[in-house]
Structure 1
Amino acid sequence: MIENTNKIAVVFGVRNESSIAWDIAVKLQQSGCKIALSYVKDTKDEVLYLMERQGMDTSFAAEVDVRDETEINAFLQKVYQGLGPIDYLLHGVAFGSQQVMCYSLPGSQDPAPSYLDIPFEDLMDSFNISAYSLLRICRVAHPLFAKGASVLTLTYNASQRVFPGYAGMGINKAALENIMLYLASYFRESQVRINAISAGLVMTTSAGGINGVRKLRKLGKLTAPLGNVDAGDIGDAALYYFSALSKKVTGNIHFVDGGFNIMGVPYDGE
């Protein structure tokens, strides 16, 4: 087991028990970290329940809108003053409306919204939450980081390839990856490392509401050399970045998708 006793870990993006960010938070706690979690208004009860069940200190949980720098600052200052410098920070936040992602709802006979008709205001809001928030959070956290701190964000292969039903969110993931790369260079003086995990399709609550997602999981089972992944697979990989083992790794996009990203066509067994 990786040794993280008394390290301070801040996790943005836990929605419920199926969240990738929750699996990472649990693994960080099991490795010895003290955990601080953000939540939004409609996830407060679920997040606090999970923390209490897991034996995490709920006094270091707070409602944070990642579009609001003041709220981010209040949360991180509370962590810094109450626990100490921040060693690890997970950016697991993403949001895109149905109009941005261009998907139809399961069971609906209505066609999916058109990519050409993505509303600019909706796209900018999803960009603000899903991509720019990484820059905003790092700006606030910069003076609060411990020596050798590590930041990790979660991306998806739709940044590079076409996944109908993800559409505008692919724009956000491409931007997120670019922001990560520039931050990796920016933090050279303070020796803070920043990386991204490109996760395979995980059946989170959000993913389950997209029409065709189960078909994509079936395709992944056939295509990826190692098959589909789950949140635990992502959490295992994240722990490498949230440890001294990755002390000289920064600006990396680490695929944890069973090898789906290397394939050009589904494998037919021949």
Structure 2
Amino acid sequence: MIDNTNKVAVIFGVRNDSSIAYDIAKKLHLSGCKIALSYLDDTKTEVLHLIKELGLPDYCAMQVDVCNETQIADFFQNVKLNLGSVDYILHAVAFGSQEVMCYSLPGSNIPAPNYLNIPFEDLMDSFNISAYSLLRIARVAEPFLVENASILTLTYNASQRVFPGYAGMSINKAALENIMLYLADYFRIKKVRVNALSPGLVMTTSAGGINGVRKLRRVGKLTAPLGNIDTGDVGNAALYYFSDLSKRVTGNIHYVDGGFNIMGIAIDE
């Protein structure tokens, strides 16, 4: 087991116990790490319940809008005061409206929104939350980071390939990956590493509402050499980046998708 005793992790993006961010948070906690979770109005009840379930004090969770620099700064100040300087940051935040992602709802006869008609304002809101927030968090976090800290974000292979039901969000993921690369270079002086995990499709609460997700899971089961993944697989990979084992790894996109990304064609029954 990786020993993260006395390390401090700040985690953005936990929604409930099915989310990837929660599995990572739980594994960090089990490794001895002190963790702090952000939440929103619609996730507050779930996150506070998870905090209690892990036996952590209330100050380990705080309401934070990742588009609000003041709230992010208050969060890091709270972490510094109660837990100490920050060793790890997980950025697992994303949002895209139905018009941005261009998907139809399960069971609906209404066709998916047209890619050419993605509303600019909706796309910019989505970009602000899903991509630019990594840059904003890194900017605010810089004075709170220890040397050799690790920042990790979550991306998706749609940044490189076409997934029609993910459409506009793929723009955000491509931007997120580019931001990650430039942050990896920026933080070279402090030896802070910045990387991204690119998980395969996981049946989280957010993914479950998109039409065609279950078909993608069936295709993934057959196409990926090692089959589909679950949140635990992503959590295990994250623990490598949230440890000294990865202290010379930065600017990396690490696929955790059973090998789906290497395949040139989909295999279906």
The verdict on a shared fold, with TM-score over 0.5 as the criterion, is yes
- Contact 1:100–1:118 (CA under 8 A) maintained in structure 2: yes
Aligned to 1:31: 31
Q: How does 1:137-216 map to 2 (within 5 A)?
A: 137-216=137-216
* Native 8 Å contact 2:201 2:217 kept in 1: yes
**Residue of structure 2 in register with 1:5 after alignment:** 5
1:93 aligns with 2:103: no
Contact 1:193 1:251 in 2 (8 A): yes
Q: Is the 1:106–1:210 contact (alpha carbons within 8 Å) kept by the matching residues of 2?
A: yes
CA positional deviation for 1:255:
0.2
- Displacement of 1:82 in angstroms is 1.6
Distance 1:83 1:221 in 2: 41
1:103 aligns to what SS in structure 2? Answer: coil
Other-structure match for 2:245: 245
Moved over 3 A (4+): none
Question: How far 1:59 sits from its partner (Å)?
Answer: 1.1
Contact 1:35 1:57 (8 Å CA) reproduced: no
Cα distance in 2 between the residues matched to 1:56 and 1:193: 27
Contact preservation (8 Å) 1:184, 1:195: yes
Q: Are 1:81 and 2:81 counterparts? A: yes
**Aligned equivalents of 2:103 and 2:266: distance in 1?**
23
Question: Which residue identity is paired with 1:91?
Answer: H
For structure 2, the 5+ residue unaligned runs are none
Correspondence 1:43 to 2:43:
yes
1:60 is displaced (CA, Å) by: 1.9
2-side partners of 1:162 and 1:235: how far apart?
26
Distance 1:121 1:131 in 2: 15
| Equivalent-residue separation in structure 2 for 1:111 and 1:72 (angstroms) | 38
The root-mean-square deviation of aligned C-alpha atoms, in Å, is: 0.9
Aligned residues, how many?
Answer: 269
What is the deviation of 1:18? Answer: 0.6
Counterpart-to-counterpart distance in 2, 1:264 and 1:56: 46
Gaps of 5+ in 1: none
Q: Is the 8 A contact 1:96 1:123 kept in 2?
A: yes
Task: Calculate the TM-score normalised by the size of structure 1.
Answer: 0.98
| Aligned-pair CA distance for 1:38 | 0.1
Shift of 1:57: 2.4
Measure the CA separation in 1 of the matches of 2:102 and 2:266: 24
TM-score, normalised relative to structure 2: 0.99
